[in-house]
Amino acid sequence: MESIKELYLSIENSLMNDEKPSENINYLANKEIFKEKPFSMILELKKIEQSPIYHPEGNVWNHVMLVIDEAAKLRHKSKDKKAFMWAALLHDIGKPPTTKVRKGRITSYDHDKEGEKMAIEFLSYFSEDEEFKIKVSKLVRYHMHILYVLKNLPFKDIEGMKRNVDLEELALLGLSDRLGRLGENREEEKENIERFKKIVNSR
């Protein structure tokens, strides 16, 4: 029987090398061991529905699988492929405890902040590399800032974002996130990311 460490390494190998990491991760998710902590933290994503307006692909798990496959196409551009790919897998880990139906709408307020803590918790089962864990968790923490900046929302913290994450890495994650939805316009999303970088660099 596989240990949780072996499962972690299998996931990491797929994230780092596979053209479509989702295929192996979907296979591994059917194993009994995936129901154990910390993998249960990711498995919970299958239970979390999303707004069909913004996420026609369905639940959070479906979205995350699309995101990691998009991220795999971009990882050659990353300065730290390991942190980038783990951030892609864990970027919405904060949705299970934060998702609620408010006035008939599915919302996940503060899932980015909750996700920062949960990413550290998950990775601490396997890694003592504090720099790696912080790098991943900060990408998770600020992944919503692309939307906040583009829409000039009050939740944005541009100075905090610039202090804590590499802008190019965040842009890669943001592009993967935005393309990991069914029916997205790829060229339009690339333009949105470039517009985000221009706004931030002008501050």
pLDDT tens sequence across 134-189: 999 999 999 999 999 999 999 999 999 999 999 999 999 999 999 999 888 999 99
Alpha-carbon gap, residue 116 to 181, rounded angstroms: 22
* pTM of the predicted model as reported, rounded to 2 decimal places: 0.96
Q: What is the reported pLDDT for 83?
A: 98
Q: What is the reported pLDDT for 1?
A: 59
Of residues 123 and 55, more confidently modeled: 123
> Does position 4 have pLDDT exceeding 80, yes or no?
yes
Give the CATH architecture of domain 4-201: Orthogonal Bundle (1.10)
List, as one string, the DSSP characters of the chain: ---HHHHHHHHHHHHHH-SSHHHHHHHHTTSGGGGSTTHHHHHGGGG----TTT-TT-SHHHHHHHHHHHHHHHGGG-S-HHHHHHHHHHTTTTHHHH-EEETTEEE-TTHHHHHHHHHHHHHHTT---HHHHHHHHHHHHHTTHHHHHHTT-TT--HHHHHHHS-HHHHHHHHHHHHHSSTT--HHHHHHHHHHHHHHHHT-
pLDDT band at 198 (very low <50, low <70, confident <90, very high): very high
Residue type, 96: P
Q: What is the reported pLDDT for 182?
A: 87
- Over the stretch 10-27, which tens digit does the pLDDT of each residue have? 999 999 999 999 999 999
User: Where are the domains positioned within the chain?
Assistant: 4-201
Q: What is the reported pLDDT for 149?
A: 98
- Over the stretch 76-112, which tens digit does the pLDDT of each residue have? 999 999 999 999 999 999 999 999 999 889 999 999 9
pLDDT band at 75 (very low <50, low <70, confident <90, very high): very high
